[in-house]
Each structure stands twice: as structure tokens, then as C-alpha cells.
Amino acid sequence: MVPPVQVSPLIKFARYSALLLGITYGSIRFSYLKPYGEEDRRREAEEKKQQEEAARIAKELEAQEDTILK
């Protein structure tokens, strides 16, 4: 096995700086996009309710038709 190599302090500093900048950017971007995601989830929940209601009404209509004709 090869012994570990000493890494330059400048390279270490650059790597950790990039890591911290990435974490900071991700945090800021997440806080910016979070309201949009909440709005999308709310809209999807409303659409799902409407679809379920339409499916329930369709089932009721089918049930009413089946009792008379069959």
C-alpha cells in the first residue's frame, strides 16, 4: 500500500469552501422554491378531490341505471 499523501492547505481550503458554498446555495434555493412546492401540492390535492367527486357521482349514476334495467 502507498502511504497517504499530504494535501496542500490551499486545496483543503478550496474544497471546504466549495462544500460550504454548495450547502449555502442549496439552503437558499430550497427556501426560495418551498412556497411554489406548497402551492403545487395544494392544487394537486384540490384536483384529486374533484376527480374523486366526479368518480363518486359516476358510480351513483351507474347504480341508479342498473336497478331499473337489469
pTM above threshold 0.95: no
- What is the pLDDT at residue 69? 53
- What is the pLDDT at residue 66? 64
Is position 62 within any domain?
yes
- What is the pLDDT at residue 67? 61
What is the number of domains present in the chain?
1
How is residue 58 written as a grid cell?
359516476
Is position 68 within any domain?
yes
Is position 42 within any domain?
yes
How far is it, in rounded angstroms, from Cα 37 to Cα 1?
50
Is position 16 within any domain?
no
Is position 3 within any domain?
no
Is position 69 within any domain?
yes
Could you say which DSSP state residue 70 is in? -
State the residue range of the domain holding 51. 25-70
For 23-59, write each residue's pLDDT tens digit.
999 999 999 999 999 999 999 999 999 999 999 998 8
